[in-house]
């Protein structure tokens, strides 16, 4: 029995590590995809077809990602889902499915050419590129501030191998979180919108992602209030959602 439990823990750990590596690949690809660099298929590359078809396909791809991301993150779904998958592998499965949908999006995304705006001044182009990279830096840093390895399932599968219970969630506001409630989403917004040449396809991606982010914040904050109660309600009153500000006590 003990040997079987150890084997199950090892398999769960391997599964969690594999899911994390696939996530890491999809995340790194996202930088090139949105920034139109290095990767073979980016947001504006490929042969343009029917604009109507492109809008429909792209909207469906964004909607699929939003649906998976939102539904699987809800506590009610998690309680049902962990009757099917081991509790320790729940987060890794969520991360894996999200990553696979992202890879599908990269593959099937249809470019929609035509410029909404373009910036040619070298100084402003450099500034915009700086904001783009700042967004990714803020995003990645924010994941480590709230425990990167728990967010992407590695801590849970390692705890299962060690036969230890993960620590209960603790409300913390490190660094960026003292000034904005969702710095991770701020990073996404900066990265998605900061481009010197905004095509219609890129605009669809940025606008659709922004809409999902706002919906995701609404759902996430509802869960956080349910988890932390008045502690989170007070935090919500004192700190900005996406625009950094902080109401000082007193």
Strands (E), the chain: 115-118, 197-199
Handedness of CA 236, 76, 81, 11 (dihedral sign): positive
**In 3D, which of 190, 183, 89, 69 has the Cα closest to residue 134?**
190
**In 3D, which of 93, 42, 94 has the Cα closest to residue 73?**
94
Backbone angles phi, psi at 118, to 5 degrees: -145, 140
Handedness of CA 106, 27, 137, 73 (dihedral sign): positive
| Alpha-carbon gap, residue 88 to 166, rounded angstroms | 9
Question: What's the whole-model pTM score?
Answer: 0.94
| Alpha-carbon gap, residue 201 to 207, rounded angstroms | 10
Output the six-digit token pair for 121.
């001044």
Backbone angles phi, psi at 74, to 5 degrees: -80, 140
| Radius of gyration of the chain, Cα coordinates, nearest whole angstrom | 20
Handedness of CA 185, 187, 190, 195 (dihedral sign): negative
Residue 167 has what pLDDT? 75
Task: Please report, in tens digits, the pLDDT of each residue of the chain (250 residues total).
Answer: 466 678 888 999 999 999 999 999 999 999 999 999 999 999 999 999 999 999 999 999 999 999 999 999 988 999 999 999 999 999 999 999 999 999 999 999 999 999 999 999 999 999 999 999 999 999 999 999 999 999 999 999 999 888 887 778 889 999 999 999 999 999 999 999 999 999 999 999 999 999 999 999 999 999 999 999 999 999 999 999 999 999 875 5
| Alpha-carbon gap, residue 19 to 96, rounded angstroms | 5
Backbone angles phi, psi at 117, to 5 degrees: -150, 160
**Measured between alpha carbons, how far apart are the two ends of the chain, in Å?**
59
**Helix, strand and coil percent figures for the chain, each rounded to 5:** 70, 5, 25
Handedness of CA 36, 143, 65, 228 (dihedral sign): negative
| Alpha-carbon gap, residue 170 to 192, rounded angstroms | 30
Q: At what angle do helices 154-162 and 90-108 cross, to 10 degrees?
A: 150
């Amino acid at each position: 029995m003990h040997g079987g439990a150890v084997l199950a823990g090892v398999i769960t750990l391997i599964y969690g590590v594999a899911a994390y590596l696939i996530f890491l690949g999809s995340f790194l690809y996202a930088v090139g995809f949105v920034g139109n660099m290095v990767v073979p298929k980016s947001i504006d590359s490929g042969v343009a077809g029917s604009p109507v078809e492109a809008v429909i396909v792209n909207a469906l791809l964004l909607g699929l990602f939003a649906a998976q991301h939102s539904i699987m993150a809800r506590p009610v779904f998690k309680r049902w889902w962990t009757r099917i998958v081991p509790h320790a592998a729940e987060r890794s499965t969520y991360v894996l499915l999200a990553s696979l949908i992202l890879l599908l999006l990269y593959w099937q995304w249809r470019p929609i050419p035509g410029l909404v705006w373009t910036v040619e001044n070298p100084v402003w182009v450099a500034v915009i590129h700086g904001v783009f990279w700042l967004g990714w830096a803020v995003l990645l840093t924010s994941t480590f501030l709230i425990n990167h390895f728990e967010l992407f399932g590695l801590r849970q599968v390692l705890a299962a191998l060690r036969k230890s219970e993960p620590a209960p969630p603790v409300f913390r506001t490190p660094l960026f979180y003292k000034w904005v409630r969702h710095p991770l989403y701020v990073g996404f917004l900066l990265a998605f919108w900061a481009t010197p040449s905004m095509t219609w396809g890129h605009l669809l991606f940025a606008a659709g992602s922004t809409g999902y982010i706002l919906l995701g914040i609404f759902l996430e904050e509802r869960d956080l209030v349910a988890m932390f109660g008045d502690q989170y309600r007070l935090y919500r009153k004192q700190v900005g959602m996406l625009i950094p500000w902080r109401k000082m006590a007193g």
